[in-house]
Amino acid sequence: MKERIKWAFFLLLFTGYFTAAWAQADFKKPEYRAQSIYIYNFTKYIQWPEDYNTGDFVIGVVGETGLVQELQKLAQEKTVNGRPIVIKRYANLDQMDRRCSILYLAYDSSNLLSTLLQKTNGSSTLVITQKDGLGRVGSLINFVSVNGKPKFEINVGALEKGKLRCAQQLMTIAIVI
């Protein structure tokens, strides 16, 4: 009898854990959708150097995030200046394409930012993160929450270093660093 109770308790905990994880994934889906729309709209207000304006428009993602699915949906429907959008997942930074136009560093991989910035030094890759403080340490765009509302920071110095130009319209709605 004790074994049955232990087993039932284990199943209850196990099922509860996965139910909570599933609910959390569904809870974040609107956030991922909003971020994918933001990322697409950044392409309208950020200007890359001429040598980045040919071929596929590559958006890379490092780390685990539900954002990938939303970006893939977006890539099926949209283009960037007539160029197809290609979403690439990278298990690690060594796999990253040199000509990646946008690279999103998932929250769980935030500790890789300094290595990523060294790797992209001198390139025009728009590095996007989502963790408080990363905008100040070199992320070009960093998603943050201010009073419970989604916002984003733009690191102007990092943009200039990457030879990226940002339209004033985007700067007016961003938290400028």
pLDDT for residue 99? 79
Residue 64 in domain: yes
What's the alpha-carbon Rg for the chain, to the nearest Å? 19
The Cα–Cα gap between 75 and 85 comes to 5
If one counts the domains in the chain, the total is 1
Residue 109 in domain: yes
Query: What average pLDDT does the segment 151-165 reach?
Result: 95
The Cα–Cα gap between 90 and 59 comes to 11
Residue 11 in domain: no
Mean pLDDT of the chain: 85
- 18 pLDDT higher than 70: no
Question: CB-hemisphere CA count at 13 Å for 163?
Answer: 11
Residue found under tokens 């290609």 = 86
Percent of the chain past pLDDT 90, that is, above it, reads 70
Residue 149 in domain: yes
What single letter denotes the amino acid at residue 85? Answer: I
- Spacing of C-alpha 176 from chain mean position: 18
Q: Encode pLDDT of 50-98 as tens digits.
A: 989 999 999 999 999 999 999 999 999 999 999 999 999 998 888 887 7
Residue 171 in domain: yes
Query: What average pLDDT does the segment 145-164 reach?
Result: 94
**Residue 103 CB contacts under 8 Å (≥ 6 apart), including other chains:** 59, 60, 61, 62, 96, 116, 120, 125, 126, 127, 128
The structure's pTM equals 0.82
Q: Which of 1-5, 64-68, 122-126, 158-162 has the lowest mean pLDDT?
A: 1-5
CATH assignment at residue 74: 3.40.50
pLDDT for residue 96? 84
- 29 pLDDT higher than 80: no
Q: Range of 67's domain?
A: 28-176
- 139 pLDDT higher than 50: yes
Cross-strand bridge partners of residue 155 = none
